Each structure stands twice: as C-alpha cells, then as structure tokens.
Amino acid sequence: MNRRTAIGIGGGAAGIALFATLAIAMMSEPPSPIPLWKVEEKPYLRQVTAEGNLKAVKATPLSAPAQAQGPLKIGWIADDGVAVKSGDVIVRFDGTDFERDLLEGKEERSRTGNRIEGAEADAGATRTNLGRDARIAQRELESAQSFQITDAEIFSRFELIESGIDEGLAVEKKEYAEQMRLVRDQLFQAERDLLGIDERKAGHRIDRASKGLSSLEVVAPHDGILVLTRNWRGELPRVGASVWSGFPIGEIPELGSMKVEAYVLEADAGGISEGQEAEVVVESYPDRKFKAKVEKVDPIAKPRFRGSPVQYFGVTLAIDETDPKIMKPGSRVRATITLEKSDAAIAIPRQAIFDQKGKKIVHRWTGSGFETVEVELGNSTVGSIAVKKGLEPGDQIALKAPETVAARDEDASGEK
C-alpha cells in the first residue's frame, strides 16, 4: 500500500467518523423550534406582597357620646394625625337641632298642661252640676214619697196614677244623675290619660334635647396623636356628617407597640396562614426593614375601594420591634409575606406544564425524542410552579408542546 492509498483510506475513515459524530449530535438535540429547560434543584421561595397601614396595638377609642339620644351633626372636628393634650376638644357637635327640640318640647308640655287644667276644670264643673242634679232628684224623690197619694177613697184614680209617676220619675232622675257622673268621670280619666301621654312625650323630648346639649363635645382623655376612624367607604369623619351615639370617631393610640393592617389580592392569598414570617417596610423609610409574623387572616375577601370589583383578604401582621421615631399610626407600609421556603426544590416555568386528560404532564427530552411524564405539582409563584414528583435534576423539558410545533411546521411546508 502506497502512501497516497493510505492517505485516502485514512481520509475516508475520518469522514465516516465525522459523519457518525454529527449524526449522534443531531440525534441528541431536539428540533430547533422547541426550546428546552434544564431541571435543577435550587432554593425555593414563594412570597406575596401586601399593602396597608400601621395601627397601634393598644389605643383609647373615641366615640360619639352614648347619652345623646338621636343623630349628632359634626360642627367641627380636629385634623387627622394632630397632636392633642388631655382635655383638648376633638369633636364639637352642632346643637341647633337640640335647642329647637328643647324649645318645642317645653312649648308642647306647656300646651298639654293647659289642656289638662282645662279638662280638669270642665270635669269639675260637670261633676258639680251632676251632683246638684242628683241632690235635686233625691229631694224630689223624698217629697214624692212623703206626699204620695195612696187613699183611693179620697183621691181619684188619675191622681193616684200621677203620684206614682212622679215618684218613678224622681227615682229615674236620681239614677240618671249618678250614672252620668260615673260616665263623665270615666271619660275625664281617659282624656287625662291621653293628655298624660302627650305630657310624657314632651318630657322625653326635653330630656333628650337636654342630654344632647350636655354632650356636644368629645375631649381627649390623655395626651397623644389623634387618628380618625375611616368608614367602610374609606372616608374620614367630616363637618356636616351625622353620627349616632356610640359611633366610633377615632382613637388616641399608644405609640410604643404597632401592628400592620394589610391587604393581599385574593388571587395571591392562597396559602396564607397564621404564624408565617413577613418583612415590613415603612414607605417613608424604605431602607429600614422590620420582621413580622402573620397574626390574623380574614376569612372572607372584600373590596378595598368603593366601586372596585377587586377583592382583597385582610391580614394583620404583628411586628417584632417598634421604632416610634419612624412608625406612626396610619403610615403606609409594604409587606412581603413568605408563604413557602425550601433550601432545595425543583421549580419549572408554567409554560412547561400541559394538560392531558385531566393530568398535568411535561415533555421530557430523552436524546432521541420526547416522552410524556406525569408530574405532581406543588405551590406556585408568579412565573414558576414547584414539582413534587416526576422530575429529577438534570432532566430537560420542552417549553412548547412538540406536537404543536410539528403541526405548525407541516402546515408551513404544505403552503410552500
């Protein structure tokens, strides 16, 4: 074998080897339109964000005076967040309605008293007249009985009958006068009871107005910062608004211990429970972070803003440390709640998971093609989902369904 022949044979062998290498490489790579994701075991952290406000753990509540019976109209109110001292006026209510009720109540009671006096005078006069009629009837009866004609031999039959009629009439007059006096007394008592109701109504009106006038101010029980209470619409009490007795107006908190009342979107709230760790940042001091824990989770999601269909779960966070210098009641805060934390877990992108007859599957690359693998999923974050079973570190999975890509390529080839 000469040198040229040897070179040719060597070159052919090298070409065959190169072709085989390329073939193996081509077989180990998936079709180019299908991107792959390499499965790795990494630390896994699932968190949700929440927004809310600081609130004191302990606070002295301020409410509309309980002794005021009826609505109270706010005439003046201190600003939210203002520093107050013991005895300072927090709310001053408008007393115009109470003054009018007091005046009208006194006038009504005076009119009712005059009507009662008039009814008593009329009843007294009627009672006197009926008593006089009864006495006259009694005298007539006695006279008729004293001079009754009974001798039929001396008096005529007509005189005998007339004498009996006079006696019966006197009896009837007496009984009628006594019965009328009894009926008149009953009518007067009924009228007196009705007037007594009006009199008590006027007295209640006067008493209510007097109590209202005596409770037109709410004062601070001690020094502190005033925090007004928002209603279900998120509005603060304002001048002109009406409140009822016992209605919460605000509070004066103790600044030594704070908590967070935060709100989490309903879609992100899955898995939140008491005791989970959180991190709180006061928006006015973004460089400071405070550790906290979930203390309470509302059982029902509710709208946070009026007219908005978005639902939120209310979450109360207990802060480990309170810094009164930067933490004020009502300050806006951002919280990050840790729902799940693991040092080693498998998490894959959402687009790598597909549905097949009600099962969750992925397409795993084997080197020569894709195989369908059923997976058991765990919790999810915004872009990824934890996998409990079905995958191992080092696996490569498709981010697109292979059959969809193949069908698209066939359609493109047919068009060409």
Residue 236 pLDDT exceeds 70: yes
Q: Which two tokens stand for residue 105?
A: 């109540």
| Average pLDDT score over residue span 293-308 | 88
* Burial of 398 per CB tally in 10 Å (0-12, 13-18, 19+): buried
Amino acid at 410: E
Helix (H, G, I), strand (E, B) or coil at 247: coil
CA 285 to chain centre: 31
Q: Where are the beta strands (DSSP E) in 85-232?
A: 89-93, 217-219, 224-225, 227-228
21-51: per-residue pLDDT in tens?
333 334 456 665 788 889 988 887 788 899 9
The total of other beta-carbon atoms located within 10 Å of residue 268's CB is 18
Whether 265 contacts 312, CB under 8 Å = yes
pLDDT number for residue 159: 59
Q: How confident is the model at residue 5 (pLDDT cuts 50, 70, 90)?
A: very low
Name the token pair of 295: 């203390």
Q: Comparing 129 with 165, which gets the higher pLDDT?
A: 129
What pLDDT sits at residue 27? 43
| CA–CA dist 269, 32 (Å, integer) | 39
Give the pLDDT of residue 6: 38
Q: What is the mean pLDDT of residues 220-234?
A: 82
Residue with the bigger pLDDT between 106 and 169: it is: 106
Q: With 60 as the cut, is the pLDDT of residue 415 above it?
A: no
Q: What is the pLDDT of residue 69?
A: 74
Across the chain, mean pLDDT equals 80
Do residues 340 and 379 lie in contact, with contact meaning Cβ atoms separated by under 8 Å? yes
Question: Number of C-alpha atoms within 13 angstroms, CB side, residue 146?
Answer: 6
Report residue 221 as tokens: 């029980």
Mean pLDDT of 354-380: 88
For residue range 102-138, list pLDDT tens digits in order.
888 888 888 888 888 888 888 888 878 877 877 777 7
Give the mean model confidence (pLDDT) for residues 154-177. 68
Helix or strand run (H / E) with residue 253: strand 248-253
